[in-house]
Amino acid sequence: MADTNLTQVNSPAAQRTNPLVLFLRKYGWGYVFVLPSFLAFGIFTFIPVIWAFIISFQDFRPRGGGDWVGLQNYRDAFTTQNGVFLEALKNTIIYAVVTVTANIFIGLFLASLLQPLSNKFQTFFRAAYYLPAVTSAVIIAVTWRWLFNTQWGFLNFLLGLIGAAPVRWLSDPDIALQSIILSTVFTIPAAGVVLFNAAMNSIPKDFYEAADLEGAGPIRKWWSITLPLIKSTTLYVVVLYTIASFEVFEKVYIMVPSGVGNSTQTIVTQIYQTVFSQFRYGVASAQAMVLFVIVVSFAVIQFRFFRSDVEY
């Protein structure tokens, strides 16, 4: 009798009525394939973020745990160290606004120049523009540090050819941050060029042919057809570069390791110093949470401004 009941439960008819069995049969292998990525994300991203949020409310000690201090770490983040965090926040926002704006315009400009070319030439230039992106950020920062060197840097060499005095690019607190921004602006936004070019090539040619019949010129077609139809790509690129600019660290740390006072201090470099120089883990976690809120706020604003329902 028991064997008969077991056979009925495991029969195909019984399994077809079980939603869990149907779900696993239909999607089970998909979840098996994405499970390693989910585990990596959970272990190395999600859990550390949650743990940092908890530590931000503690006077944390790695060996002795931590005592709950509430919002004191957030108050200390803004009020202690003579307002260094506020200075770092200001520098980071300036860096982000300038570099993101420049990267978007440069990426759009270069992608627009590539659009009329043949597929062969577009492929060549996309590869050429993207090649620097595979280079280590540390190597790029070291190269720019050599270029900005006061005594034997290439930029001061060029200034010397016209009789100008050497410029202390990375040692003058009045222009050190601007020099770092300049190095970022002069580095071609590889991802932006590739993504914008791909988005432009996906626009149906019928739109441009109709514009030609109406007598529209190249600039008018670019403004009225190209820009509106790549708005979703623009949103992605803007968010991508905004997150990267707010997380700038290695370039500042390598180009100006001494910091030039607080003139080149950014949020991430300040968090780094708070952890590894002052060993104030709770305050550093609070600063990281502030950075997280700022990045999310900017992303929400950008989504509302650049979102588009255009389909083609």
Across the chain, which has 312 residues, the per-10-residue mean pLDDT values are: 48 59 83 91 92 90 78 86 84 94 94 90 89 84 92 91 91 92 89 92 90 88 90 91 92 86 90 88 92 92 76 56
Same domain, 158 and 208: yes
Domain count, the chain: 2
Residue range of the domain that includes 13: 2-55
Residue 129: the pLDDT is 87
Same domain, 296 and 193: yes
Kindly report the pTM of this predicted structure: 0.85
Any alpha helices (H) in the chain, and if so which ranges? Answer: 2-9, 12-16, 19-41, 47-55, 72-79, 84-114, 119-130, 137-147, 154-161, 176-185, 190-201, 205-213, 218-221, 227-229, 231-246, 250-255, 267-276, 281-306
Residue 15: the pLDDT is 45
Residue 249: the pLDDT is 92
Written as six digits, the tokens of 3 are 């064997």
Note whether residue 312 is domain-resident. Answer: no
Residue 79: the pLDDT is 83
Are the beta carbons of 269 and 249 closer than 8 angstroms? yes
Note whether residue 67 is domain-resident. Answer: no
Cα torsion 78, 80, 81, 82 to 10°: value is: 80
CATH of the domain at 275: 1.10.3720.10
Same domain, 237 and 198: yes
Residue 27: the pLDDT is 84
Residue 2: the pLDDT is 44
Same domain, 41 and 101: no
Note whether residue 141 is domain-resident. Answer: yes
Same domain, 83 and 124: yes
Same domain, 51 and 80: no
Same domain, 205 and 297: yes
Same domain, 270 and 154: yes
